[in-house]
Amino acid sequence: MSAIGIIIGREFRERVMKKSFIISTILTPLLMVGIMVGTSFIMASNVGEAKRIAVVDRSGLIAQSLTSSDWIAYEPTSSTPEELRSQNDEQMYGFVVIGEDIIDNPSNVALYTYSTSTMEVESAIAGDIEEIIEQHRLKSYDIENLPQIMEEVEADVTLRSYKLGEEDEEDKESSSVLAFGLAYIFGFVMYMFVIIYGSMVMQGVIEEKSGKVLEVMVSTVRPYQLMMGKILGIASVAVLQFVIWIVIIFVGGSLVMQFMMPTDLVESANAISAGTADLAAMEGAGVDPELAAALANATDVGFLVRFFGSFLLYFLGGYLLYAAMFAAVGSAVDNIQDSSQFQTPITMPIIIGLVVMMFAMREPHAPLSVWCSMIPFTSPIVMMARLPFDVPMWELLLSLAILFATFVFMVWIAAKIYRIGIFMHGRKPSYKELWQWITTKD
Amino acid sequence: MDLLRIEHVTKRYAEHTALNDVSLSIPRGSVYGLLGPNGAGKTTLIRIINRIIMADEGTVLLNGKPMTQQDVYRIGYMPEERGLYKKMKVSDQAIYFARLKGLSHREATTRLKEWFIRFGIQDWWNKKVEDLSKGMAQKVQFIVTVMHKPELLIFDEPFSGFDPINANLMKQEILRLRDEGSTIIFSTHNMASVEEICDHITLINKSQNILSGRLDEVRHRHGNNIFEVDFRGEREALISALDGHCTLLDDGTTAEGIYNQVKIHVEDDSDVRGVISVINQSVELRSFREIIPSMNDIFIKAVAGQLKTVEEK
């Protein structure tokens, strides 16, 4: 096996066999699912117990029309407020006192609670009473067939959006919810991967330098081979981790689809994929068309392959570019503390990329978004945000070409710093010295 | 034939010249001492031999041919600053380095087991380097250096960090490797160990080779014609007889008593025989021995620029 191959093998094995890798790879997705399930469970269980509220209705018009909901139970009572106050029943949340002239004076209503009330409860009660007052007032106009008219007047708009296809292609139903979500998640994942694995390269180089292993290594292999072996070895760790996560997401996702999603929702999603969706029927069955469209997109294999494929390519390009810079910094310093000064110019463009990503999610085809998805230092992150919004193929290819060309150039620069930096001990070099190292001939 | 020839090697850095026109030849099967004060350029020379850095001028010939990158497989180098991956298992680590030097995984494993048995350290196989003591790690480093049976071994201060027992073990191992056909370059400040194991030396000072040759020849060359004479007979007779033939450095009287031993300095090599016959006539001569300077003396004098002869390479 070639020297680089052996080095890649070591970097890969030493990291993958570590407990921390196994734990973080398996635990991170579980943790995320756990947090999502956990919070929704907590929210659901909180709703379970309805808040019991006694209603003292002096007008005699409101109480009988108040309908209890899942979380607020109205209990009309004949007790006086004074009696209720002294009862202090722990089962009760509080009581509402409605004034005699409530229809003319809607402000004549008060809520008394045994403990501090929340805004949610207050606005819910106010809303319920408001509705009843409005009905009473409407009634006073004495219009015939009023309930029927109201029902006809009411409108519920559901906007379906279609992305215009090429001539021979059908217009495809798109889901901006999904696009937004994917852009957001994968932009962040890209950012995290580049930073985490890039600085892992730097730490590895510093460890070799401070542990004096470098001197032994470079008597056997060329510094360039050592640097590339480390960069590629760690890249393979990152790719493995990513692939494991994708598999977990796919397996977990299909399990959820199979057993936990409402069947009518899945059927609607399938119908949208097949282009035979009937919106009215969907709504009749109580399915949210927006959700069904998102689900249809999420299960579109062609779309997913293209998306994850692009992610991998951009991750490799972006990681290699930044890892080369991190390796150069690692070689120039003696310890992690000294490295922070040189890390700043590296992390700055990544953070700029992240900021532009937020913008590009809303304006994927604005000039700023397009430019930053071409500049190699920001393109891996920004392009993630643009990808779900149909980026022309030539833009994608051009951006990737620039990214990989810059990576090759950066490796060349980094190797020049590296081969001198690894022998420099004791003093932190200045930028001027780094420039001298780059311009020194072999 | 010489295994390694360094011819007119010069290496310049921005501020200074690390090596200035250095030439030396290392005979096959020798233990070659590379001596010199700190900062003289020894490490630079070793790095050039290892192809870690390239010389600006001059050539390095291995077996008469200019060295190539492939030739590093035939070198084993143990730097002064020992370095191993701390978190890696001892066995994995040694096999890793051996594979980088061109051994197969299987071959490396077999040889490593032999070395572990030789040193009696079988139970270290699964230990991590960070769990070893400094001396133990040094042994591992030694094994890593020699495992691929290189033709040329370069040790930089190999005995530092070893207790006397283990230092002796290392010395025996180095000599055994020499007997098995390896050529050894041995860089150190410890002149006593140079006298013990080196047969050739080169002394580098201020980027230049100032002294080269066989160890015994170098030492004799720098003898100052000082002799120690043991005798039986009349001390006074001897001293008066020597007067005019040589300088008496030590007449044998010390605080503890008087010994029948004197030290003399003979001005010229050609006078030695005359001096011996004078002694022989006055007393019974028991021994007549030249006092050869220690490497330590030669080192200090050479570095201070006080050697009486101008060296030719």
Higher pLDDT residue, A185 or B182?
B182
State mean pLDDT over B206-215: 88
Weakest mean pLDDT among A272-286, B102-116, B201-215? A272-286
Phi then psi for residue B239, to 5 deg, are: -60, -40
Q: Which of B52, B78, B83 sits opposite A213 (nearest CB)?
A: B83
Q: B88 to chain A: which residues are within 8 Å by CB?
A: 14
Q: How far is B268 from chain A (nearest CA, A)?
A: 49
Q: Flag whether pLDDT at B279 surpasses 70.
A: yes
> How many of the other CB atoms lie within 10 Å of CB of A20?
8
pLDDT tens digits, residue range A41-92? 776 665 557 788 888 888 888 888 888 887 788 888 888 888 888 877 777 8
| Complex ipTM tops 0.90 | no
pLDDT over 60 at A170, yes or no: no
What number of C-beta contacts closer than 8 Å exist between A and B? Answer: 56
B98 pLDDT band (50/70/90 cuts)? very high
Higher pLDDT, A440 or A402: A402
Using the 8-state DSSP alphabet, how is residue A29 labeled? H
More confident: A65 or A171: A65
The answer to whether A220 contacts B97, with C-beta atoms less than 8 Å apart, is yes
pLDDT (tens digit, 9 = 90+) per residue, B260-269? Answer: 888 888 888 7
Chain A residues touching B55 at Cβ < 8 A: none
* B79 contacts on A by Cβ (under 8 Å): 212, 215-216, 219
The pLDDT of residue B311: 44
Would you call A353 exposed, middle or buried from its count of C-beta atoms within 10 A (0-12, 13-18, 19+)?
A: buried
Q: Domain locations in chain A?
A: 50-139, 176-439
Is A87 at the interface with chain B, CB within 8 A?
no
pLDDT > 90? residue A118:
no
Helix axes A289-298, A263-274, angle to 10 degrees: 70
Task: Indicate yes or no: CB of A442 within 8 angstroms of CB of B54.
Answer: yes
The yes-or-no verdict on residue B312 having pLDDT over 50 is: no
Class of domain A50-139: alpha beta
Residues of A in contact with B57 (CB under 8 A): none
Does residue B1 sit at the A interface (CB-CB below 8 Å)? no
Distance between the two ends of chain B, CA-based, in angstroms?
17
In the prediction, which pLDDT does B310 show? 44
Q: Looking at residue A291, what is its pLDDT?
A: 66
B83 touches chain A (CB under 8 A): yes
Interface of B with A in 135-154 (CB under 8 A): 144
pLDDT attached to residue B120: 87
pLDDT > 90: what percent of chain A? 15
Residues 149-188 of B with CB under 8 A from A: none
Least confident of A299-308, A330-339, B143-152: A299-308
Q: Mean pLDDT, to the nearest integer, of A384-408?
A: 89
Work out whether strand B2-12 and strand A172-173 pair parallel, antiparallel, or are unpaired: unpaired
Model confidence at A397, pLDDT cuts 50, 70, 90, reads very high
* B39 and A CB contact within 8 Å: no
Going by the DSSP 8-state scheme, the letter that residue A62 receives in this structure is S
What is chain A's alpha carbon radius of gyration, rounded to the nearest angstrom?
31
> Is pLDDT at B313 greater than 50 in this prediction?
no
Domains of chain B: 2-220 (3.40.50.300), 224-290 (3.30.70.1150)
CB-CB contact of A79 with A120 (8 Å):
no
Give pLDDT tens digits for A120-149: 888 888 888 888 888 888 888 877 777 788
DSSP A166: P
Length of chain B: 313
| Model confidence at A433: pLDDT above 70 | yes
Averaged over B189-194, what is the pLDDT? 86
- What mean pLDDT do residues B149-172 have? 89
Q: Average of pLDDT values for B227-253?
A: 85
Q: Any idea what DSSP says for residue B40?
A: S
| Closest CA in chain A for residue B86 | A211
User: Residues 398..427 of A with a Cβ closer than 8 Å to B: which?
Assistant: 423
Q: What mean pLDDT, rounded, does chain A reach?
A: 81
Residue A15: pLDDT above 80?
A: yes
pLDDT higher than threshold 80 for residue B145? yes
Range 24-83 of A in CB contact (< 8 A) with B: none
- Of A66-70, A272-276, A335-339, least confident by mean pLDDT is A272-276
* Residues in CB range of B16: below 8 A, 6 or more apart: B207
